[in-house]
Amino acid sequence: PEVETSVTVTVARSAEEAERIKRGEDISPRQEDPDAAAGALAAAGEFFVPEAQHDDEAAPAPAAEEK
């Protein structure tokens, strides 16, 4: 027999945001609210590992092998 299933995953930044999503509220930041967008960007930065970020400096060239 064939079985069909549906899975819905909700990803939220906090428990409060998850509850708002569950109630059906629109949690997307408004374009006219730059402070909210800046806050979201700052919060997103916490999820990144600083060592994994790319820097503008080029990696040093490997040393030439002596013969």
Sort residue 10 into left (φ over 0), alpha (ψ -120 to 50) or beta. beta
- Report the C-alpha gap between 65 and 43 in whole angstroms: 46
Please give the pLDDT value at position 1: 87
Please give the pLDDT value at position 61: 60
Answering whether pTM is above 0.85, one says: no
Please give the pLDDT value at position 59: 57
Exposure string over 42-65, b if 16+ CB within 10 A, otherwise e: eeeeeeeeeeeeeeeeeeeeeeee
Please give the pLDDT value at position 26: 87
Dihedral of CA 18/19/20/22: which sign? positive
User: pLDDT of the chain along its 67 residues, tens only?
Assistant: 899 999 988 889 899 998 999 899 988 866 666 677 777 777 777 766 566 555 555 555 666 665 5
